[in-house]
Chains A and B, each alone.
Chain A
Amino acid sequence: MSTLLDVRDLVKTFGVGEAETRVLRGLSLHLERGEMAALLGPSGSGKSTLLTILGTLMKPTSGQYRMLERDLIAADDRALTEFRNAHIGFVFQFHNLLPDFTALENVIFPTAVREGRETPQARARGRTLLARMGLADRIDFPSSKLSGGQKQRVAVARALMNSPELVLADEPTGNLDRVSAMQVMDLITQINRQEGTTFLISTHDEKIADLCQRQIVVGDGVVTG
């Protein structure tokens, strides 16, 4: 394995003066390529903030963040957007699909936005990914008409569309029933093993965490275990 990302002394504060809240207090983290790690910790421990920073959606107040040997703290918004599109996938708790688009259109969005159009190659890969998620018969379904589990599988397919090195999943099963949750986790595990995609999964669920090779516990803004 080789280093995928390296985070050192991350500090993130919100608000100023008396309202200032320090969410991350010098957090350091190292992830290898191909890892499947669970991010555990109580609510308010800083898990979501950490995922947001790792996903380049937010910059830390201070600290270092390198991924694929690039300094992401110094990068500007445009560079971060391109980097995010190419190398990072997201799976959110509430799937966050585009409601006016079909399952396939949602899946190929990351490629289409990069290419500026929906290419036949992107459509073909989107279909393949949806079929792999067990949604071959839902390709042209409006995303708003899918069930919760189906939506989350579409979200996983979308996260994998550009073959990212890292997929950040924030409570990906938190809104699903046990069966659907296990289906999603099976898919994630399968992809991690077969394609070597790195997953960092934020969860409160011990059973989900047990499916991961590594468990990272965050507490009070630092990694505690």
Chain B
Amino acid sequence: MLYALKIAARYLTANMAQTALLVVGVAVGVFIFIFMSALIGGLAQFILSRTVGDIAHVTIEAEPEDPAILIAPEGHVLVVTQRGRTRTASLAEAATWLPLIENVPGVKAVSPQITGAGFLTRGAQVAQVSVTGVEPGREAAILDLPGYMVEGRARMSSGLIVLGRELAEDLDLSLNQPLRLQSSEGVTAMLTLSGIFETGNGAIDGARAFVSLSTTRTLFAMPQGASRIEIKLFDLNAAGATAARIRSLTGLDAVPWTDGAEQLMEALDAQAQTGYFLKTFALITIVIGVASALLLSTYRRRPEIGIMRAMGAGRSFVVFVFVAQGALVGLMGGVMGAALGYLALLPFPPREAFEPGTLPMDITQGSYGLAITLTVIGAILASILPARSAARVDPVTAIGQ
């Protein structure tokens, strides 16, 4: 078959202009394939980073205590303790689990937190807030608080509080001003505003207050443990598997971010499907282009095919000559298109630096190998029809042409 490959290469080089046009046509198809892969992949990455980039990828929360039914000696119910919505449940042994969770493969950061509801008061102004207590030094573990600071610092020392810009403006607060925080447990603390952040997310900027973990222990009467453990992963797509692993290791109720994000996942899936369609059309264009060019070549070379058959070339040899031409065109066009695609994507910023208003092209999601492989396979499939047509050429008729 080495000889058939040589003949295929000779046929392709015999008419350089036609072959070059064909290869460029295939390359354009591959370029579109790669461009679409990078765009759809980058877009998904951008949406995910904007929507779930600042949330925990896996969350462990204490299960609220079941209602307590107190039975009197005579068998009558005396008291039913209703499950409280504001009462903070506790992971009493959170500190025990942390080293174990931190060592789970794929885990980037772990942040034990105490969360609860409260009221911020400054003068006559009152605002309801969601209070999050984080360990000093872990401020950037989940939400990159230091990165979003617009004033002051994200310091979580005792007696300090960090608020969003929207909330600070609502309360007419500026740095280093004192304010009062009353928790849902009825405990009040006087705190000093040490920093103001702005994430661009109204739900965070207008209703979240960050304090130190020790402050929330006092506010929510939780001398030990945590109310939740938030976990950040290197690959947010691995959340389901990692949550399952943590569940099996600790027995805790680890929940991946994808639970409850069905709509987002459906939207991303629909976007991916659109990408598949566009890429499929690009491949179909390649297949049609290669098939038509080779069919034309088959027709033009009928006399030569007849000579080859007369000289003892079998039908399979003729088939291989034309399939090899298709494969070579696919390979050359695939490599050229992949190279062009890579070069065209180089000027775009990397995925870590996507900016709103620009095309989020992710050069790492160009699917270069896949594009080349599918193109070669497509070109081979496209050449089968012309190859079979060539193999069926009647040598007597062809030589007489």
Question: Footprint of B on A, CB under 8 Å?
Answer: 52, 55, 57-58, 77-78, 81-82, 84-86, 90, 92, 96-101, 109-110, 112-118, 158, 162
Contacts and interface: CB of A to CB of B under 8 A. Distances in A.
A163 B14 CA distance: 30
Interface stretch (B174-182, B253-261, B300-308): B300-308
Contacts of A97: 307
Contacts of B14: 100
Interface string B292-333: 000000000001101111111111010000000000000000
Given A77-B315, A99-B304, A113-B311, 11 more contacts: A81-B309, A85-B313, A86-B312, A92-B399, A96-B306, A96-B307, A98-B308, A109-B311, A112-B3, A113-B317, A116-B2
Given A96-B399, A116-B2, A84 B314 contact: no
B310 A57 contact: yes
A77 B308 CA distance: 14
B312 A52 contact: no
B311 A85 contact: yes
A112 B5 CA distance: 12
A216 B180 CA distance: 123
12 contacts: A52-B396, A57-B309, A85-B312, A86-B312, A90-B311, A92-B399, A96-B306, A98-B304, A113-B312, A116-B2, A116-B4, A118-B3
B310 to A, nearest CB: 5
Contacts, number: 62
Contact of B396 (A58, A96, A101, A117): A58
A108 B18 CA distance: 28
B2 A117 contact: yes
B307 A98 contact: yes
Interface residues of B, number: 24
B395 interface: yes
Contact of B310 (A84, A99, A101): A84
Contacts of A90: 310-311
Given A57-B396, A100-B10, A84 B303 contact: no
Contact of B312 (A82, A92, A99, A118): A82
Contact of B311 (A82, A115, A158): A158
Contacts of B311: 85, 90, 109-110, 113, 158
A137 B142 CA distance: 80
B119 interface: no
Given A57-B310, A101-B10, A158-B311, A113 B3 contact: yes
B3 A115 contact: yes
Given A100-B14, A117-B3, A81 B313 contact: yes
B11 interface: yes
Contacts of A58: 396
A110 B312 contact: yes
Nearest to A116: B3
Contact of A114 (B10, B308, B312): B312
Query: Closest 6 CB pairs between A and B?
Result: A85-B312, A100-B14, A117-B2, A113-B313, A110-B311, A81-B314
A82 B315 CA distance: 11
Nearest to A82: B312
Contacts of A113: 3, 308, 311-313, 317
A109 B14 CA distance: 17
B68 interface: no
Contacts of B395: 57
Interface in B359-401: 395-396, 399
Contacts of B6: 118
